[in-house]
Amino acid sequence: MNIGSFYYRRLLSRRQWTLLSAGVGISVAALVYSLISITDYEQSIVLAITNAKPHIRIFFHELPVDQFALTSKSISSLLAIRCCTIAYRIPGPISITVRNADTGQNMYSEAINSEVVGYCFKPGHAIPIDLHTVYSKACRTRGEMDPLAIMQDYSTRHRVIIDEDMLDKILPMAMPSGDNFMMTISDLSGNSNTIAVTTAGSYLVPPIGVMGVEQHSVYVRIEDIQPHDQSGKPLANCLDIQLNNPTLDRRVRDQLRKLLPPNTRIEIWSERDQDSIAFIDTLRTACLWGAAILISLSGICVYYVLSMVIEDKRKQIAILMAHGASDASIRYILLRCGCIIAALGSMAGVLCGATAAYVFHDSQQRLMRSFYYSESAVHIPCGGVVVIVSLAFISCIIGVWLPCRSALKIQPAILIRSE
Amino acid sequence: MKRNIVRCTGLHKRYPLHASASVGEELNVLKGVDLDLSEGSFSSIVGVSGCGKSTLLNLLGLLDTPNQGEIEIDGVSITANSTTKAQLCYYRSRKIGFVFQSHHLLPELTILQNVMIPLIIQNQKRHAACIMAKECIGMLFKEDEIASGIMDRTPDSVSGGQCQRAAIARAIVASPSLIVADEPTGNLDENTANEVFTILLQIQKKRNATIIMVTHNPDQASRTDVVYRLHNGLLSRESNLCSPP
């Protein structure tokens, strides 16, 4: 047994051990939490969007509630565009109420605090819910991403108005056919808009339909939604744009600009994807800087505390040296302290960070993804965690090394005589 | 004929008078000290305060190196230029036992653990160190003290005399060639001081230990085998001990 193993535990008080380990632990926990969140976000969002590979999706912002129905009707003509998703976003909070127009019975109501994302629709077009369900299941069976789930996944701040959940609640209460519903969307300012919804057979026949990404052409067929004249030719007011046309986004945007209220910001989704990726990069860079700062702070804490401890324990170190403890032994005592602080802090930090990520970070998304894609509930980026733990160790060792140098300068002859 | 444990030849030790090295003025504390200590002897050094007794003891205890001259301890030659810090640590742990004026026990450790320290520094196994430490404590403490659990108590919960006895146990536990005692009874009352000094005498006899002690107590000095007086940086052997000038 060497003196390092024998004495290191007594160098710090229990309180100092706890505080230093907790300091390192908090830093590591914060970093692990951030890392898991970023990785989670990246995996769930960017990969999902990339996998979906839409040709064009156009997204426009800040559509006031009172413009909602009007705009929806206006842009319905754009649905003739193949493989194009046009989405709107209504700034929240809003409330949605679906009422049976014949009986006056309330069928569905929901208050939404966040912004709302929906899809363009075409009046009179039927969306077979069972087909969508079948399609979703087929996607999942094939291991593909469910486009609707992707949309829901896009951000916690976004919600899809017309989703399976809502339809599942409405349909069982509806008559098989001919029921008329009124869907009212209101905001806090009292602005509201009402859209008529009708059931037909087993279908919900709304002026609202779901227009998804390209795979949705399975059930949103262009020939179904594109108005034709009697001879079967598309109507002139519909955009007839070929697939993969590079100018499509611009033309659609120009068309939307004519239809939408002025000052409505229009974004192309592909650009938005790039923004998301750029945002991920920004987050990752911020995380790295955060790592550097937090772990440096931990190292500085370790340095200051151990400097004080060594100042306090100069006599003890001098006595050990007087009895023959070598420089290596003294260094070993201090380095062992640093490593144990780093190890305790890292263990606690990783555990707390991962738990916090599991509990707090977007549990709804996580559950949905685990439901849809059978993914594990928490992704722990092992490589990143290893880097963080290594940084914690390096930081603690540097934090110990500097006080160690001053400890080795102690001259036992002088110190003991001065006592 | 007994062999020499310590042989010092022409020891010089100088300290700078000012903290700034550029000033260059130095205080010559030791000006060519010669000293031989034979195995099993108990020697004492007397002298006025500040005459360099502790400095000489630090040199003998390998806590410091002389500017000039040579120290040979148990056959190992120590000089300022040829001995590294690591070698000094090694020799110190194996050849020297220290008893300071204050007991200098580590407050975080129990009495037993404090006594084990020199053995642990020598990388001995904990169990073996524990047995040897208990043996030494058994030699220096009374049975009733041991029965009261003194070994498991920390220094702040035992008396000054007990602490000093523990410090002596720590000094002898590794069976060093030389025990260096710097005013070991200086902080103790008369009775306890006598008790501690008697223990040192017993250790000398029982273990044939070589002890050198600095003291201001003429009575204690007179009971040692050889008394040296340090005056003006030079060491002389006292034939008739009288009170220091």
Q: Chain B closest CA to A13's CA: distance in Å? A: 9
* Residues A306/A337, Cβ–Cβ less than 8 Å: yes
Per-residue pLDDT of chain A (419 residues; tens, 9 = 90+): 677 777 777 777 788 888 888 888 888 888 888 777 777 666 555 444 444 433 444 555 555 555 555 555 454 444 333 334 455 556 666 677 777 777 777 766 767 665 555 544 333 333 333 333 334 444 444 444 444 444 333 333 233 344 444 555 555 555 545 566 676 767 777 777 666 655 543 333 333 223 322 222 222 233 333 445 566 554 433 333 333 444 555 666 666 666 666 766 666 655 655 666 677 677 777 777 777 787 788 778 778 877 887 777 888 888 888 888 888 888 888 888 888 888 998 899 888 888 887 776 655 555 545 444 445 555 667 788 888 888 888 888 888 888 888 888 877 777 666 55
**Cβ contacts (< 8 Å) between A413 and chain B: which residues?**
58, 63-64
According to DSSP, the β-strands at B76-78 and B42-46 are unpaired
B106 and A325 within 8 Å at the Cβ level: the answer is no
Q: Domain limits of chain B?
A: 41-66+85-238
Across A63-202, the runs of DSSP E, i.e. the strands, are 84-90, 94-100, 106-112, 116-119, 180-187, 192-200
Residue A321, chain B, CB below 8 Å: the answer is yes
- Residue to mutate among B60, B120, B180, with most A CBs inside 10 A, is B120
B58 and A325 within 8 Å at the Cβ level: the answer is no
Q: Chain A closest CA to B111's CA: distance in Å? A: 14
| B28: three-class secondary structure by DSSP | strand
Q: Which of A326, A413, A417 sits opposite B89 (nearest CB)?
A: A326
Taking domain B41-66+85-238, whether its CATH number is 3.40.50.300 is answered by yes
Helix count (H) and strand count (E) of chain A? 15, 9
Q: What is the pLDDT of residues B52-82, one digit of tens each?
A: 888 888 888 888 888 888 888 888 887 767 7
Considering only residues 38 to 77 of chain B, which have any Cβ-Cβ distance to chain A shorter than 8 Å? Answer: 54, 58, 61, 63-64
| A106: three-class secondary structure by DSSP | strand
B126 and A6 within 8 Å at the Cβ level: the answer is yes
Of B76, B61, B82, B207, nearest in space to B132 by CA? B207
According to DSSP, the β-strands at A180-187 and B4-16 are unpaired
* Cα–Cα distance measured from residue A317 to residue A336, given in angstroms and rounded to the nearest whole number: 15
Of A166, A156, A68, A163, nearest in space to A110 by CA? A166
**Cβ contacts (< 8 Å) between A3 and chain B: which residues?**
117, 120-121
DSSP letters of B182-221? ESTTTTS-HHHHHHHHHHHHHHHHHH--EEEEE-S-HHHH
pLDDT value for A80: 34
Task: Outline where A76-160 has alpha helix (H).
Answer: 129-141, 147-153
Q: Is the dihedral of CA B227, B35, B183, B108 positive or negative?
A: negative
Q: Which of B102, B108, B120 sits opposite A1 (nearest CB)?
A: B120
* Partners of residue A373 on adjacent β-strands: none
- Residue to mutate among B13, B93, B116, B177, with most A CBs inside 10 A, is B93
Q: Chain A closest CA to B1's CA: distance in Å? A: 30
Residue B141, chain A, CB below 8 Å: the answer is no
According to DSSP, the β-strands at B42-46 and B226-231 are parallel
* Cα–Cα distance measured from residue A216 to residue A128, given in angstroms and rounded to the nearest whole number: 12
Q: What is the pLDDT of residues B11-41, one digit of tens each?
A: 888 887 766 555 567 788 888 888 888 888 8
Tokens of A144: 């593909």
Q: What is the pLDDT of residues B155-213, one digit of tens each?
A: 989 888 888 889 988 988 888 888 998 888 887 788 888 888 888 888 888 888 889 99
pTM of the model: 0.59
pLDDT value for A130: 33
Residue A12, chain B, CB below 8 Å: the answer is no
Q: Chain B closest CA to A8's CA: distance in Å? A: 11
Q: Which of A1, A323, A327 sits opposite B93 (nearest CB)?
A: A323
Q: What is the pLDDT of residues B97-147, one digit of tens each?
A: 888 888 888 888 899 999 998 898 888 888 888 998 998 888 888 888 888
Q: Which of B64, B102, B121 sits opposite A323 (nearest CB)?
A: B121
- Cβ-based burial of B98 (10 A; exposed 0-12, middle 13-18, buried ≥19): buried
DSSP letters of A41-59? HIIIIIHHHHHH--SEEEE
A320 and B121 within 8 Å at the Cβ level: the answer is yes
In chain B, whose CA is at the least distance from the CA of A328? Answer: B86
Q: Which of B54, B106, B107 sits opposite A417 (nearest CB)?
A: B54
